[in-house]
Each structure stands twice: as C-alpha cells, then as structure tokens.
Homo-oligomer: A and B are copies of this chain.
Amino acid sequence: MTVTIKDVAKKAGVSPSTVSRVLSGHPRISLETSRKVKVIMEEMGYTPNMMAKSLVSKTTNSICIILPKPAEELFSNLFFMELIRGIVTQSSRSGYDVLISSGANEKEELEAVSRLLKGRRVDGVILLYSRKDDAVIDFLESGGYPFVLVGRSDRYEDILSVDNDNIMAAYDATNHLISMGHERIGFVSGPPNLIVSRDRLEGYRKAMQNKGLEMKAEWIVEGEFLQDSGYRAMSFFMNLPNRPTALVAVDDMVSFGVLRGLNELKYKVPEDLAIVSFNNIPLSELSSPPISSIDIGIYHLGYTASQVLIQSIQKPDNHDGYTNRFVIPHRLIVRESSMYTPGK
C-alpha cells in the first residue's frame, strides 16, 4: 500500500541511500540519476514517512499551542482564533505543523506539554496566555525546551515573548481623549491578575499624570473582558456626582456593554460619554456609533510568535541578548465614539 524509499530504489535500480540523497538534495549525485529517481517517485506517489524521519532526525517539524481552558468567552474566542490563524499561517509557510492541545486544568496542561515535548512529538510550544506562577513555564524553562509566550511574564525577564506595549497603548488611548478636550476620564479594567489589565491601567495613569489631570479612585473600575462589566461600570459611572465625560475600556466587548447601557438610559455617545477601547474587533467598526479602538494586531502577534519560536528551534544558540522580547505595534483607530469635544 504505502510506497517507501526501498520500493522506489528497487524500481529505479539504485540503492535506497541514493533515493534518500535525492530526497534531501544532496550535492554529490549525478543529475541523471537524480532525475530518473524523481520521476519514479512521482510515478509511484511516494510520500516520506514523517514518523520515520522524525525518529532519526530527532525533530518533528511541528509546534504546539496550548489552549487555555477558560476560553469560553466571546472575547477569548475571537482573540484566540485570530491568534491561531496567524500562527498556523506562518507555521505552514515555514513548513511546520501546528498541534493544538488543551487541558481541563493546569495539571492536565502540564501533562500534555510534558508528553508532547518529552515524547518528541513537537519541537516547541507557544503559550497563549500569561498567568502568574505558571508551572508549565517552569517545566519548559528547566527542561530547556524552545517556547514563546504571547504576552509577558513578570517572573522571568528574559523569556522569549511576543507582546504589545500595552502601557503605551493605553497611554495613547487616554491621550487621545485628553487631546479631544476631556479632563474627567474613567477606566474600565480587566481582571487584576492579568498582566495586560495592569499594563493598560498603568498607561492610563501615566497619561493622566502627565497632563496633571485628577484621577479619582472611583473612576477606575475592575471587571472582566465582557459586555457585562461594561454595563455595570456604566451605571456606576453615570450615577457619580461629577461623572467622567470619557472612558477608556480594556476591551471592545466592555464598550459594547457600556453602549448598551447608555442606549437604554437614552444617553448619547460620544456626546454624553466618549469611549475608546482595545482590540479593534470587527464588530467595533460596525456598531452604532462605531467605536474608537486600539488595534493590537492579534494576527500579527500570532504570526510573530510562530516565527520567533521556529527561529529559536532552528538555531537555539543566540538565546540571549536583548532580542528576546518582541513588541507588536498598536495603532489607534479613531471612530465616532470619541469624536466629540465636551462643552462644545
């Protein structure tokens, strides 16, 4: 059934090694033999057995990504799918296959990663999250396995990672509102244990401080990356005696929640409350009004992560120096939701 090198060799009247050499583009081989063998391979429909190849080369030409379990939210789905698309596209361009794995909990994840790596089924791993104190990272670090983190680790400084400059991004978002004339600006953050939430909050703080604007504690609300958080934050803000005229939200989903609430209460955007948020999901362009958003280049994030990982697999030497942290540029997309100067 399956055609092997041996079969091809027999039919071509040469030795298996010769066929193998043709396959690997070995230099010292006669043009004629090479051509002949190639034709026969084509004829017989030869496809190399990856397993056998991997066994001897000790390399699999595949990487794996670990899907965090609580990827049940809409936001996560959009985000991860986009990331995966970037990863898969770049990987297949580099001739690598992508294996997806997941575990019900951290222990299972660790088992999966360990099995895949120690069992030599994949050459490296892309971690799609930045949890604190992650056992998987410890395992990968101590085992010396190639891996890259999408996001950043606050524990390991020199880990290979691909991230946005979220501080700067939030700084830009906030500054945009300030430059539109806003002075009372609120911030709806994400879960405080996520580094991305903390970074964005810090960027907001920096921008406010930089312009000497007041930052009331009640203008900062923590929530999830979900509509609901926006909804709740909105009703909280709008009931404040001296309420903000603008808002930075940690995710577009949150903005939708805010929008929905504002809509119900007959408030107008951006007149009553201007909004800027993050991630620039397709829907943000299409909502009414369209939402200003920071595009963080999710696809690009994935694409680069894959590129960086595969590079580090192929030449594991230069794993030091200052090139370990890759920053994907962001850009602010200004839309209707922030196009208003208060008091005008």
Contact = CB atoms under 8 A, between A and B. Distances in A.
Contact of A92 (B101, B114, B281): B101
B77 A102 contact: no
Interface stretch (A26-34, A80-88, A187-195, A239-247): A80-88
Interface residues on A, range: 35 or more
Contact of A60 (B51, B78, B80): B51
Contact of A77 (B52, B81, B264): B81
Given A85-B67, A260-B286, A288-B263, A45 B118 contact: yes
Nearest to A231: B286
A287 interface: yes
A112 B101 CA distance: 20
Interface string A38-59: 0000000101111110110000
Given A2-B120, A54-B51, A99-B62, A82 B77 contact: yes
Most buried by B among A60, A84, A103, A256: A84
A340 to B, nearest CB: 18
A100 B99 CA distance: 6
Contacts of A99: 62, 97-100
A103 B89 CA distance: 8
Contacts of A62: 99
A119 interface: yes
A52 to B, nearest CB: 5
A71 interface: yes
Interface string A310-322: 0000000000000
Interface of A is mostly: helix
Most buried by B among A51, A67, A263: A51
A55 B2 CA distance: 13
A23 interface: no
A227 interface: yes
B118 A102 contact: no
Nearest to A116: B97
Interface string A270-299: 000000000001110011100000000000
Given A55-B55, A74-B281, A282-B74, A50 B119 contact: yes
A49 B81 contact: no
A132 interface: no
A6 interface: no
21 contacts: A48-B119, A49-B120, A50-B119, A51-B52, A51-B55, A52-B55, A55-B55, A67-B88, A71-B81, A74-B78, A77-B77, A80-B81, A81-B84, A88-B101, A92-B102, A97-B101, A97-B121, A98-B100, A99-B100, A227-B283, A264-B288
